[in-house]
Amino acid sequence: MKEPIQKPGTNPSSLSLQDSLSANLQTNEQFFQSVYHNCADVVYRHFSIAGKMKALLIYIEGMSNIEEMDKSVLSPLMQQTPAELENLHAIMEQSITVSSIKENKTFAEVAEQISTGNPVILVDQYSIAISVGLSKWEKRAIEEPLSESVVRGSREGFTETIAVNTSLLRRRIKSPQLKMISMNIGRQTQTKVIVAYMDGLADTTLVEEAKSRLQRIQIDGILESGYIEEFIEDHPYSPFPQILNTERPDVAAANLLEGRIVILVDGTPFVIIVPTSLYSLLQASEDYYQRFMIGTLIRWLRYGFLVMALLLPSGYVAVLTYHQEMVPTTLLLSFAKSRELIPFPALVEALIMEITFEALREAGIRLPKQVGSAVSIVGALVIGQAAVSAGLVSAPMVMVVAITGIASFTIPRYNAAIAIRMLRFPIMLLAGTLGLLGIMLGLIAIIVHLSTVRSFGLPYLSPMGPMRASEMKDVMFRAPWWALRKRPRLTGDYNQNRQPPGQKPDPSKGTE
């Protein structure tokens, strides 16, 4: 392959990133020095190929493997003999022992390779540049996700390096049907984003819709997958999350096998899963690793505590304010005695305690780990006891708020728990003004809203609304694996058969 030789003399100031490289090495160098002006970490290394051909190596310090570059790139090129000089393509092919080599013809392509960490070689009298796949930077080791810890299950979690994350998925799903489409989003950051799906399991229209929504994003930079969530969700003003995020590769792989799409973003361990439903946000990976009876029990416990996290303070306020006849006499007298010296109504009392508890919880998250848990626990005990002793709140209210906080911790997804915590306050206001009628009106408004929400075309209450009886075995309870024969129906066409029938254990059959 003969590269075209251009005449030197192009003015670097008249060039732009979209232009083709010049055949004049000095012109190319001057252009990149102007592009990377005041960039002290960009290194320009001049050398000669076989002592005759002038060349320039450009790389970013700290993002390239310098040892391997000296061994596999610079040393072989500089030791070339003049008799071996035929053309640039042959020289690179015979000398460089790195597997990943790419030819670049424009300044933009070269700048992208340099910013990625790949060293680029420019040679005088040639209008192409050779980038070598030797990017290397510090990265975090694979660890267990702190926000999704389990008793039984994988201890691996995604990291901030997208290549590591894709390999974790490939290690679990070895089928070539696992497809990964790459794109860059962000004018300045050029963040790498990968759309992963199972060919033959995911609906093709769903894949195209995900790609279309991602390609429409026009922004300076993407620093976390949360940026993308806000651009691609269906109902941006809904308090409920319509996109599932996780740090666990096993959760992402399980959703891929159900026909969902996983979106990986470079620089964050949180991957995005679409579409999702309300019930998916209330399920934990460990539900499927324990025996199905245990998984069902824990799931029902989680549903019960979800209701308590949303309605317990509101119910307490409504009953004490408007519906004292619903409380047994002995208990009512106990409540009345505890509230005898309290100067605030039950609604104000509940708001004070809930806001204080939320502040303590947020402070515990933001403080260093060594003191965060101590501050949140000790702070809650000290402030609660002091508030009761000072006569600002009653002891039953402290118990109600504490139980509500514990109930919110049982929700496995942090963004879903935040939605419940947000909705708790307007329902408390309704309970303090209208009693149980206000709570009923608030619940009706929430259910009506949930019925209208969709996630990439999937109804948010699916499979309960619309009702699909065959899929309820993985919603209200967790059926055994041999009974989960069908995949959930998401959008459009799908491959419904997960496994063949007849796999229920039967000791009477013995071994064949």
- Tell me the pLDDT tens digit for each residue of 104-148: 999 999 998 998 889 999 998 888 899 998 888 878 888 989 888
Whether 243 and 293 share a structural domain: no
- Residue 427 in domain: yes
pLDDT above 70 for 512: no
Helix (H, G, I), strand (E, B) or coil at 440: helix
Q: Are 102 and 12 in contact (CB under 8 A)?
A: no
Region of 307 (left: φ > 0; alpha: ψ -120 to 50; beta: rest) is alpha
pLDDT in tens, 385-418: 888 888 888 888 888 988 998 899 899 999 999 9
pLDDT digits (tens, 9 = 90+) for 448-496: 999 999 999 899 999 988 888 888 888 888 899 998 888 888 887 778 8
Q: What is the pLDDT of residue 162?
A: 93
More confident call, 262 vs 74: 262
Question: Is 365 in contact with 421 (CB distance < 8 Å)?
Answer: no
The number of angstroms, rounded, from the C-alpha of 142 to the middle of its chain's C-alpha atoms is 16
What tokens appear for 419 in the block?
Answer: 């939605």
Residue 49: the pLDDT is 84
Q: Which of 80, 78, 38 is nearest to 57 (CA)?
A: 78
Of 54-58, 77-81, 142-146, where does mean pLDDT reach its minimum? Answer: 77-81
What percent of the chain has pLDDT above 90?
50
Residues 6 or more apart in contact with residue 240 via CB below 8 angstroms: 278, 416, 419, 449, 450, 453, 460
Q: Are residues 268 and 346 in the same domain?
A: no
Q: Please state, in angstroms and rounded to a whole number, the distance separating the CA atoms of residues 121 and 56.
A: 6
What is the rounded distance in angstroms from the CA atom of residue 56 to the CA atom of residue 77?
Answer: 12
- Verify cis geometry, omega within 30 degrees of 0, for the bond prior to 507: no
Nearest CA-CA partner of 260 in 332, 181, 202: 202
The answer as to whether 376 is a domain residue is yes
Based on the fold, state whether residues 326 and 393 are members of the same structural domain.
yes
Distance, in Å, from the CA atom of 30 to the CA atom of 12, rounded to the nearest integer, reads 6
Q: How many domains does the chain have?
A: 3
Q: Which residues of 252-270 are buried (b: 16+ CB within 10 A; e: fewer)?
A: bbbbbbbbbbbbbbbebbb
% of the chain exceeding 70 in pLDDT: 93
Q: What is the tens place of the pLDDT at every residue in 353-386? A: 899 888 888 877 777 766 666 666 667 777 778 8
- Convert the pLDDT of each residue in 301-323 to its tens digit: 999 999 999 999 999 999 999 98
449 and 314 assigned to the same domain: yes
The C-alpha angle with vertex 482 and arms to 479 and 484, in degrees rounded to 5, equals 55
Final residue belonging to a domain, choices 276, 302, 317: 276
Q: Which of 412, 435, 459 is the last residue of a domain?
A: 459
With beta carbons less than 8 A apart as the criterion, state whether 292 and 299 touch.
no
The reported pLDDT for the residue numbered 391 is 82
pLDDT digits (tens, 9 = 90+) for 30-49: 999 999 999 999 999 999 88
CA distance 80 to 52: 10
The residue with greater pLDDT, 387 or 429, is 429
Q: How far from chain centre, in Å, is Cα 381?
A: 34
pLDDT of residue 86: 61
pLDDT at 4 over 60: no
* Assigned domain for 498 exists: no
Contact 141, 225 (CB under 8 A): no
What would the pLDDT profile of 194-235 be if each residue is shown by its tens digit?
999 999 899 999 999 999 999 999 999 999 999 999 999 999
Q: Is the pTM of this model over 0.85?
A: yes
Closest to 116 in 3D by CA, of 81, 71, 163, 67: 163
> For residues 496 and 181, which has the higher predicted lDDT (pLDDT)?
181
The amino acid sitting at 77 is L
Distance separating alpha carbons of residues 277 and 203, to the nearest angstrom = 17
pLDDT score at 2: 42
Same domain, 316 and 449: yes
Average pLDDT of the chain, as a whole number = 88
270 and 295 fall within a common domain: no
Cross-strand partners of 198? 178
Q: Phi/psi at 193 (nearest 5 deg)? A: -125, 135
Q: Which domain holds residue 59?
A: 12-132
The answer to whether the CB of 472 falls within 8 A of the CB of 464 is: yes
Q: Is the pLDDT of residue 81 over 80?
A: no
Amino acid in the structure at residue 458 = L
Rounded distance, CA 430 to CA 330, Å?
A: 27
Please identify, among 276, 303, 329, the residue that sits at the C-terminal boundary of a domain: 276
Residue 338: pLDDT band with limits 50, 70, 90 = confident
361-to-374, 379, 380, 393, 398 alpha-carbon distances in Å: 11, 10, 9, 19, 15
CB distance 388 to 341 below 8 Å:
no
Give pLDDT tens digits for 245-283: 999 999 999 999 999 999 999 999 999 999 999 999 999
Residue 97 is assigned to a structural domain of this protein: yes
**Distance separating alpha carbons of residues 448 and 248, to the nearest angstrom:** 32
**CA atoms of 383 and 360, how far apart (whole Å):** 10
> Is residue 503 in some structural domain?
no
Whether 478 maps to a domain, the answer reads no
Let me know whether 33 and 77 are in one domain. yes
